[in-house]
Amino acid sequence: MAGVAVFVDSRGGNTRRVADAIAEELGIVVGDIAAPLPGDARLLFLGSGTYGSAPGAGMMKFIAAGSFAGRNVALFGTSGGDDGSVKMIAVMAEALEKKGATVIGSWHSRGQFLLLNWGRPNEEDLAGARKFAREMAASR
């Protein structure tokens, strides 16, 4: 899908699996957060695992280095706790809005990754991420 990009910061691989599901749904590949932001991407999906109620350092560095003015951003995340990803997404949203982005939506795990992470994200989680991708892409 032209004009759309997916980027993720994932240490353990759970959030990367969600990013892969989103990208596959949109017919694209996940981008490298160490690379510059593509100039033609008007819709960005940005995701991170939750580390102390905050996004990964790599994602925050990516946001700090990027130009987000005039871009729509959909945020996603995973967390071991119920509130962790909600707080983490709020941190990302605030940083992006300060850089001129319009945050159009968010999706997060249900806080079941920490102790019960075997098999997570499961197919239900990934189906939710794919649905989120379709809805955000349709709104652009």
Report yes or no: 73 and 107 within 8 Å, Cβ to Cβ: no
- Helices (H), ranges, 28-122: 57-65, 84-98
What pLDDT does 111 receive?
56
- pTM given for the model: 0.93
What pLDDT does 113 receive?
47
Q: For residue range 19-32, list pLDDT tens digits in order.
A: 999 999 999 999 99
What pLDDT does 89 receive?
95
Tokens of 131: 């649905």
Report yes or no: 136 and 104 within 8 Å, Cβ to Cβ: yes
Residue ranges for the chain with pLDDT beneath 50 = 113
Tokens of 17: 């699996």
Report yes or no: 105 and 135 within 8 Å, Cβ to Cβ: yes
**Please, what are the domains in the chain?**
4-139 (3.40.50.360)
